[in-house]
Amino acid sequence: MEDLILKLKEQIIKTLKLSDIKPEDINTDAPLIGSGLGLDSIDTLELLVLLEKEYGITVPDVNTGRQVFSSVRALANYIQQNTVKEK
């Protein structure tokens, strides 16, 4: 789980091209959108693209989306719950 959390932080920084920030600067339990990391709705849409591309997960609706992006930990939990057991 901790590996996934670190990987997500790196992916968020890389996908959104955030500058002046390292993975260790992102608080795992802080909000991602608005306050906390301060992402906007376009960033959210980019993260939805990331979920699809890297994890094959499609978020079904806006409300789930809000929950999923409420923190890095929430995102990691969602991915673990929705990843099909492989191979």
Partner 1 sequence: MKNKIYLSSFSAILEEGIYDDSGLKNWDKDQIGPQDIKREQVLNKPYLNFGKLSLADKLAFSAASLSLTKSDYVNKENMGICLGISTGSFSTDCRYIETVISGFPSPSIFSATLPSSSITDVAIYFGIKGPNRVCANGLDSGITAFELAINLIEFGKTDSVLILIVNSIESVDKNIPLILPEIPKNNFAFSFILTSKKPHISPAFAIELKIKKTNKLMNNDNAELYFKEFINSVLLKKDANIKGVWKTFESEIILKKEE
Partner 2 sequence: MNQNNNAVILECGEILCSLGNLQETIADLFEGFSAISQDSCFGVPVSYAPFKKKSWYDLKENTKILASSIDISNINKEETIFIFCAAKGDISPIEKYYEKKEQSEYLPLLYSQAEYVKNILELENCRTIVISNACASGATAVEVAWEFLSSGKAQNIIIFGFDAISRFISTGFYSLSALSQTKAKPFDANRDGLTLGDGSCIALLSFRKPYSGDIIVAGGGSSNDANHRTGPSRTGNGLFRAAKMACENANILPEKIGAIKCHGTATKYNDAMEAKAIFSLFGEKIPPCFSVKGAIGHTSGAGSLLEILIAAECIKRRLIPPTVGFQILGVEENIPVSSSSQHILSKTVLCLSAGFGGLNSAVVIMEHS
Structural tokens at position 8: 């997500």
| Binding residues among 45-84 for partner 1 as defined by CB under 8 A | 45-46, 49, 52-53
Residue carrying the six token digits 């809000």? 66
For the bound state, the minimum distance from the C-beta of residue 8 to partner 2, rounded and expressed in Å, comes to 22
Query: What is the rounded distance in angstroms from the CA atom of residue 76 to the CA atom of residue 68?
Result: 8
* Choice from 1, 3, 17, 84 touching partner 1 (CB under 8 A): 17
Chain mean position to CA 65:
10
Residue carrying the six token digits 């608080």? 27
33 SS3 class? strand
For the bound state, the minimum distance from the C-beta of residue 50 to partner 1, rounded and expressed in Å, comes to 9
**1/42 with CB nearer partner 1:** 42
Contact set with partner 1 (CB under 8 A):
16-21, 37-38, 42-43, 45-46, 49, 52-53
